[in-house]
Amino acid sequence: MSTHETSDKFVYHEPGLQHQFEDMGQQEESVSIGMWMFLVQEILFFGGLFTAYLVFRSKYPMAFAAGSNHLDAFWGGLNTLVLIVSSLTMALTVYYAQKSNRSMQVIMIVLTMFFGATFLGVKAIEYTDKYNHGLIPVAGLNKKIKDDKAAHETGHEKPCWEVDHNAPAVEHPNPRGDFQWTDCSLVKLAQDKNFLTESEKIGYFVKDENGGDRIDANKFRDKVRIFFFLYFVMTGLHALHMIVGLGLMLWLLWTAFRGHYTSEYYMPVEMSGLYWHFVDIVWIFLFPLLYLLGRHFLH
Predicted structure pTM score: 0.81
Cα–Cα distance between 127 and 125 in angstroms, integer?
6
Question: Which residue, among 64, 68, 60, 65, has the nearest Cα to 203 in the 3D structure?
Answer: 60
Question: Which residue, among 240, 272, 239, has the nearest Cα to 255 in the 3D structure?
Answer: 272
pLDDT tens-digit readout, 89-136: 999 999 999 898 999 999 999 999 999 999 999 999 999 988 888 888
Domains, the chain, ordered by start? 24-298 (1.20.120.80)
pLDDT tens-digit readout, 150-162: 444 444 444 454 4
Question: Which residue, among 35, 106, 29, 87, has the nearest Cα to 261 in the 3D structure?
Answer: 106
| 3-class DSSP state of 214 | strand
Q: 213, 207 in Cβ contact below 8 A?
A: yes
pLDDT tens-digit readout, 55-93: 999 888 888 888 888 898 999 999 999 999 999 999 999
Q: 67, 180 in Cβ contact below 8 A?
A: no
| 3-class DSSP state of 230 | helix
| 3-class DSSP state of 86 | helix
